[in-house]
């Protein structure tokens, strides 16, 4: 009997069982279709892009004339089903009135037209790719538009924002395999789209990134702002990994494209043109 016990509980046998158990768990993790980092968390590294017309209007909208008649069909506004869950943003009466005023003169008022950073969540559904670079301590998100970027501080819930900023203050953590990012302290100047959908400096955005497969994410962002909305509301849409050969973020430093728009009236002789 002693011999049998020794064989059953021999250190080598125990180590072999442990190795088999770990290998089985790794196979199970690999089989769930979710790429993982060395520390076992879901891996979001890569270049991603949304395919949506939400940058024009995050609410449902019909196709419409564009702001520049000379561009014809290529400058027209495409229709969209919207990305707002429930279809409509729950504005206060004053909030909706401000949105309509913004939309009436959006070409002059939308900060993105003048190359200001787009803020969150708009940066994630503009028609430009963005890159996620992930480590255990930080997640960096780099955007092609205006070379905007932001740092997500992981597992630092008490790290308060030093100042308000265009891309906000981001603190992240994992809930299972979902990356959750809490974004606060955005300046009130950013819009959600060309349709003038807006917020105040009280905006709090809770982002959720979840793998649907190795090359697809589901993105959700819940907006809370009691100064502008009657209740929290959420946008939701997929993000797709860019699989192009040699894919990389290229430069779109748009300041040079806005100089004439912003400062053209200051040119010598501008008044006589």
pLDDT at residue number 9 = 41
pLDDT at 160 over 90: yes
Question: Does 10 reside within a domain?
Answer: no
pLDDT at 27 over 60: no
Tens of pLDDT, residues 119-150:
999 999 999 999 999 999 999 999 999 999 99
Q: Structurally, how many domains does the chain consist of?
A: 1
Write out the H or E segment, with its range, that includes residue 21.
helix 11-30
Distance from chain centroid for Cα 254: 20
Cβ atoms of 221 and 206 within 8 Å: the answer is: yes
Cβ atoms of 95 and 75 within 8 Å: the answer is: no
Q: Of the ranges 12-26, 30-44, 152-166, which one carries the lowest mean pLDDT score?
A: 12-26
pLDDT at residue number 272 = 60
Question: Does 219 reside within a domain?
Answer: yes
pLDDT at 6 over 50: no
3-state secondary structure of 207: strand
Q: What are the backbone dihedrals phi and psi of residue 175, each rounded to the nearest 5 degrees, phi first?
A: -115, 95
Distance CA(244)–CA(249), nearest Å, equals: 12
Question: Does 195 reside within a domain?
Answer: yes
More confident residue, 40 or 270: 40
Helix then strand count (H, E) for the chain reads 5, 9
Distance CA(48)–CA(44), nearest Å, equals: 9
Task: Name the maximum alpha-carbon separation found in the chain.
Answer: 107
Question: Does 221 reside within a domain?
Answer: yes
Question: Does 251 reside within a domain?
Answer: yes
Distance CA(122)–CA(183), nearest Å, equals: 13
Question: Does 92 reside within a domain?
Answer: yes
Question: Does 18 reside within a domain?
Answer: no
Q: What is the extent of the structural domain holding 173?
A: 46-262
pTM of the model as a whole: 0.86
* Percent of the chain's residues with pLDDT above 90: 81
Tens of pLDDT, residues 183-211:
999 999 999 999 999 999 999 999 999 99
**pLDDT (average), residues 66-90:** 95
Question: Does 184 reside within a domain?
Answer: yes
* Listed residue (128, 166, 135, 130) closest to 152, CA to CA: 135
More confident residue, 273 or 28: 273
pLDDT at residue number 24 = 44
Q: What are the backbone dihedrals phi and psi of residue 213, each rounded to the nearest 5 degrees, phi first?
A: 180, 180
**pLDDT (average), residues 9-19:** 48
């Amino acid at each position: 009997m002693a011999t049998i016990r020794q064989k059953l509980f021999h250190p080598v046998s125990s180590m072999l069982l442990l190795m088999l158990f770990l290998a089985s768990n790794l196979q199970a993790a690999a089989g769930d279709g979710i790429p993982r980092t060395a520390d076992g968390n879901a891996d979001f590294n890569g270049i991603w892009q949304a395919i949506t017309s939400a940058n024009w209007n995050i609410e449902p909208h019909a196709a419409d004339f564009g702001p520049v008649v000379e561009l014809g069909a290529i400058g027209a506004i495409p229709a969209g089903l919207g990305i707002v869950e429930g279809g409509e943003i729950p504005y206060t009466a004053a909030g909706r009135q401000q949105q309509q005023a913004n939309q009436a003169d959006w070409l002059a008022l939308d900060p993105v037209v003048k190359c200001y950073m787009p803020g969150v969540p708009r940066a994630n559904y503009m028609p430009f790719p963005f890159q996620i670079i992930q480590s255990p301590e930080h997640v960096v998100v780099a955007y092609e538009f205006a070379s905007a970027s932001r740092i997500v501080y992981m597992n630092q819930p008490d790290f308060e924002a030093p100042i308000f900023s265009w891309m906000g203050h981001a603190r992240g953590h994992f809930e299972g395999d979902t990356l959750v990012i809490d974004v606060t302290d955005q300046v009130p100047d950013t819009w959600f789209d060309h349709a003038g959908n807006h917020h105040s400096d009280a905006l709090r955005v809770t982002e959720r990134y979840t793998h649907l497969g190795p090359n697809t994410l589901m993105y959700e962002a819940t907006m809370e702002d009691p100064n502008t909305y009657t209740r929290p509301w959420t946008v939701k849409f997929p993000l797709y990994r860019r699989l192009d050969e040699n894919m990389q973020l290229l430069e779109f430093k748009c300041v040079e494209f806005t100089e004439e728009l912003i400062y053209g009236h200051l040119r010598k002789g501008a008044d006589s043109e």
